[in-house]
Structure 1
């Protein structure tokens, strides 16, 4: 028997057409049903016996908010999909739920909000309907409902002032009623997903878990407790003895982690209950590398420990939503040497089945227990054409001179040599709207329909337009807009030696957004400038400073699929050395502001707090190695977003960036207050509005955010070092809303400046000199350039 968690947001479920009013609710739901049914049928046809009924219109945690009926008051006037998507994306006067990373993954979830008086008002319709549809497709015996467990749900929520056990207790009647309904549908079991057990804080949750599952066990349906993302450590002895019929454990953890997963050792030490089935998560759900025989080896050990074959359930170590859909979609794009060595989600299903087959054979003939699973790939270093792990520079952390990790002057000294600005200087995080025309140009280049010179000529027009818009709006520090970039990691992965990018390897990042993570296939090497040309193009159109835009080494690593034959630390140092050369190249080209984004720094933290020190040590070192090459007059900016950074403030300070920009609008200044309390003294750019919502913030709203920064106590007396910027990049927004929001942002900064000093100029809101948009598009005045809304400047400047 095999069991699998599988979810893929194939084709983005046509969300955007629905939001634009071009698709009916019935058509959206019909597409969603088909995507789910296709995934279920794929599993069934591959040979999966018990199929988890995963799938979501936007986010699984948001689905739980919806059926539990723990809806924040600001959404209570809405219903159905209107309310669901308002919680995800915001609506007029209704800010969206906060968004943050799930555990240590690159998947963003919507954060539940629980106040002191929260009381569930459950509505089981959507969930029960999904189960009914799953049973119709698969049969009742194979369709397994998936429910986020109550303890994990409470721990993922924010703002709940009541103790965890009390919050869980309030949810239990809704959970119990759901389980009773599912029992009435004759489901064979219900998967209760509790990944919070893999964190170091799980030991403090024992009372909550034991009380909750004692109550849930009375509902009359077998419960299957599912954990993943790491071993469950010290929680193991009591967690596996909760009143459930099955427990699934992750035997693999994070690929390349410094500390191996301890699940097998925990079973050796404590045994496993004889009255339960063990779900063995032995097929790697977080790595694109094919199984090398590890799965069968782990199960063989379990059989040797006396766990009967009939009580073993073979599954993936984590939900397969973190992997690309199907390797076969790559077609002839797969490089020679990688064939047979990679496995995407569809191939992982086959690995689960082949491992289960090997287990059955081993149980019938113990002499065969040490054989390989059918199709298993032997361990092999490196990849296509690369001498990966072959020697030179592998132990970078030990070989590099300590001087390479430090700027030549301390912040206090070098900041005086950098550009000065008025109070509340304005900028953006980097990307501007990705229009259909821009995407078409990239596709034409990829297909060979455009030559590289022609492509660059056309992209130059888009860069010119973006610079002109920013000039006309009055921003202080500009960006080139990143029209040439598909994704902030993929773009660099395609230009670095030792990294391979897929053609169809899309992975869900959040809601309707998918990315294509690169695969590290060899030693990472710098192959020449990657972001210098676009910086130079942009700077020719303005006298204001333009930022050089890079993605940091830790984010590239955490948002890629790493090698498994050398450590993540070694791979991070290879990336840092490559990017260090790019920082130097930008500086040589005249760039005085270099932004090196590390939004994935926090999400890479191990789930066990005792392992944080080691990770943060090498992660921050990688950032410093990358940026320390910059001279004192070059301002280094970094961007962190959509994670809780309060617990790593010393590491953020040690990064030694000159300017820190952060996501802030959904988190109510929590990070700003924490930084102020910690005495943070470098430049700070708190996001003033949410880029994931289509709502345009008013001038007064943004001004209130700026005032709140002053009230927080951050950087007292230095408003010139409090930057005003959006939460994140603007690539997912349209030009009209982008221009409207930035216009209001610049005006709010100017008015806030004027409020500080009645004698200050309240004009354009910029101390930097510069040319107007008319120099970008000589045939149009500035206001018309601002109104171009998604078009280039018409060809007159190309």
Structure 2
């Protein structure tokens, strides 16, 4: 059985790529140095996988920013506004498309950024124009295949398939659907795959994650057309059709009849038997039995049962072992984690360890029972561990069934009470919560954690930063202030550190987008709030001003979604445990005199199941968790929530059921298009559509923000509109933040006039 890896993390074991990109953007290193860092990461990844015995090693899974953007540039999909940068290098233009470009007289907006299916990775949305054509503009996939071949490694090039690539994009200013472009795009795939075959590629991996989505006849016919055309062009190249994040379900028949050599299926989320019953006798099967999205060890007993069931049907010679998806979504190496509790560490596997699991599982299939028996012992120890279970939490969870999940009064009645108390102007201005965390603040936190700075010194310095920020927000005229979150390392990690049932890594970094990396907490046991987490900072900030200061919390859905969640109990139980902890904090903030409390649910839409049939159950549980956290406050306490880049059309009615008084959403890159769902639904509560993109260093003008607000007021009554950035400002630099917020306040003033 061949061991097939679908993709490996590309940030480097010590986040070398992040630092190199940011140094390049800051002008500290030149392009040659950045390219060399990327090359070193690729070579290291390939060598590691070869040493670990992986048979099918991926290439073209590396990217300086985003793999979808790489494909856009490879196919010549470049919006016309970037043509002005033709005199810049290809890499500079690449980053301009990712981050925007505002210097030397140019002011060009970045591509839209959105979530990669239901993960916390973000991709850059391809823009297809009115006269869209395709050609092989760049040869990255070929170059990296040859780069590995020069090292004696015949890799398996990875491509996003033509159907998924088109469906990931958006048609701009034209009256056609993205799939209408298939006839123009297919010749480029044929040309590219022909070249790879001529250069000696044995296998190519074509990712088609939309086969795990609800698609119709048109999409299925497009798949049939595309893969028959590809097979005709490269009859001897072995094609691995890769699906992930869900099972094939009603797309099974369409997938198994495609003329490919290998079909990869996600067996962490999908079903094996339906595929086995329909698999073409000439097609091999890649079994995704290693979880590519979570950090827990594989249960070899369960994985072996799947492998044996598949082998009984098709034979071992037609099977491969693989992770469920690319290992992009997990940290790189567990061996470097020295501070983790040994008992917890025994239960985990990061990317490198998951590749070891592939090798061990292959040996178990061949009859080596030693690794299987040791694996059984690990799972038995975990199940019996006293670290996991807290009877007090379980008792409270059962008692919560009788909690009232509705606010005391309807929204309009609450709004009257809040308006009398808060006395805010039309188009009230605020930010989403965090402000830039400078190198000095991060250095101070590191010293404090090492014991080089006392608790009192640390707290006093953060209080000084908070006081300066409050004064500055008052000076520029913001209406609702925040304390800046200088004490927080991350919007999820901070809370996890103050809740029981969480563990933390030292170097468990995962790419979110570009150079933005996050270190997700690990939920291993029952969750409980031991003490107040944010009250003192909120009270201190509020004591410095007469304007309202928001209490800032992360919601239960986002805390769970942006953590590696335990897999030994139902997720809805974990979600409710977290919701009860946040509810305690909400009530303490209210008791402390905080009049506005924001409960961020950035991951609410992101966590929506890919399949429609599973969505109703998720939405009910997610909405229940938010309401459990937020519903206990008085009418005059205003509850805000925030959600990240998403298509809200299918769930806006459910968002209404969350009954937040104000929702802020990310809309600037889509030019307010994402707001249309709320307008069509006549969403009754207040909305803050983001008027500038915080994922780019570009500073929008006052007129640009006014234009966006005018667009917003066409679909949402102006008396219900707030003015705010797209998201938190933690990752931005101070100069651009200061100017952008001043412009934002001026834009709100113009709207009031």
TM-score range, shorter chain: over 0.9
Contact 1:198 1:607 in 2 (8 A): yes
Does the C-alpha gap of structure 1 residues 371 and 139 become closer, same or farther in structure 2, counting only changes over 3 Å? closer
Matched, 1:504 2:510: no
Match of 1:704 in 2: 707
Q: Number of aligned pairs?
A: 731
The 5 A counterparts of 1:533-612 are: 533-612=536-615
The 5 A counterparts of 1:209-358 are: 209-220=223-234, 221-253=237-269, 261-262=270-271, 264-268=272-276, 270-293=277-300, 294-305=302-313, 307-331=314-338, 333-358=339-364
Match of 2:153 in 1: 139
* 1:440 alignment partner, one of 438, 443, 464: 443
The 5 A counterparts of 1:104-183 are: 104-140=118-154, 143-159=155-171, 161-183=175-197
Q: How far apart are residue 222 of structure 1 and its match?
A: 2.0
What is the distance in 2 between the residues matched to 1:323 and 1:361?
29
Match of 1:485 in 2: 488
Find the residue that maps to 1:600 and give its secondary structure: coil
Q: How far apart are residue 163 of structure 1 and its match?
A: 3.8
Contact 1:518 1:560 in 2 (8 A): yes
Match of 1:194 in 2: 208
Please report the RMSD computed on the Cα atoms of aligned residues, expressed in angstroms: 1.9
Does the C-alpha gap of structure 1 residues 353 and 707 become closer, same or farther in structure 2, counting only changes over 3 Å? same
| Worse-superposed segment, 101-110 or 196-205 | 196-205
Match of 2:11 in 1: 9
What is the distance in 1 between the residues matched to 2:250 and 2:381?
34
Match of 2:49 in 1: 43
Find the residue that maps to 1:646 and give its secondary structure: coil
Q: How far apart are residue 395 of structure 1 and its match?
A: 9.6
What is the distance in 2 between the residues matched to 1:385 and 1:371?
24
Does the C-alpha gap of structure 1 residues 98 and 208 become closer, same or farther in structure 2, counting only changes over 3 Å? same
Match of 1:654 in 2: 657
Does the C-alpha gap of structure 1 residues 317 and 229 become closer, same or farther in structure 2, counting only changes over 3 Å? same
The 5 A counterparts of 1:413-424 are: 413-418=413-418, 419-424=422-427
* 1:89 alignment partner, one of 78, 99, 113: 99
Does the C-alpha gap of structure 1 residues 700 and 510 become closer, same or farther in structure 2, counting only changes over 3 Å? same
What is the distance in 1 between the residues matched to 2:447 and 2:424?
41
Find the residue that maps to 1:393 and give its secondary structure: helix
Match of 2:409 in 1: 409
Matched, 1:68 2:75: yes
Contact 2:502 2:523 in 1 (8 A): yes
Q: Which runs of 5+ in 2 are unaligned?
A: none
Output one character per residue of 1:681-728: Cα deviation in whole Å (capped at 9) or x when no partner: 21110100111111111111111112222222x12xx53x31111111
What is the distance in 2 between the residues matched to 1:644 and 1:476?
29
* 2:679 alignment partner, one of 676, 680, 683: 676
Match of 1:734 in 2: 733
Output one character per residue of 1:364-410: Cα deviation in whole Å (capped at 9) or x when no partner: xxxx79965878843565686424386963794x7534543111111
Match of 1:34 in 2: 40
What is the distance in 1 between the residues matched to 2:357 and 2:47?
17
What is the distance in 1 between the residues matched to 2:165 and 2:370?
40
Does the C-alpha gap of structure 1 residues 130 and 61 become closer, same or farther in structure 2, counting only changes over 3 Å? same
Contact 1:148 1:192 in 2 (8 A): yes
Q: How far apart are residue 632 of structure 1 and its match?
A: 0.8
Contact 2:170 2:178 in 1 (8 A): no
What is the distance in 1 between the residues matched to 2:263 and 2:146?
25
What is the distance in 1 between the residues matched to 2:661 and 2:168?
32
Does the C-alpha gap of structure 1 residues 526 and 241 become closer, same or farther in structure 2, counting only changes over 3 Å? same
| Worse-superposed segment, 530-539 or 49-58 | 530-539
Q: TM-score, normalised by structure 2?
A: 0.94
Match of 1:750 in 2: 749
Q: How far apart are residue 165 of structure 1 and its match?
A: 4.1
Find the residue that maps to 1:727 and give its secondary structure: coil
What is the distance in 2 between the residues matched to 1:598 and 1:280?
34
Matched, 1:531 2:534: yes
Contact 2:256 2:275 in 1 (8 A): no
Find the residue that maps to 1:200 and give its secondary structure: coil
Find the residue that maps to 1:487 and give its secondary structure: coil
Matched, 1:689 2:662: no
Output one character per residue of 1:268-300: Cα deviation in whole Å (capped at 9) or x when no partner: 4x2422212211110111111111222222112
Contact 2:166 2:179 in 1 (8 A): no
Q: TM-score, normalised by structure 1?
A: 0.89
Contact 2:364 2:371 in 1 (8 A): no
Does the C-alpha gap of structure 1 residues 579 and 349 become closer, same or farther in structure 2, counting only changes over 3 Å? same
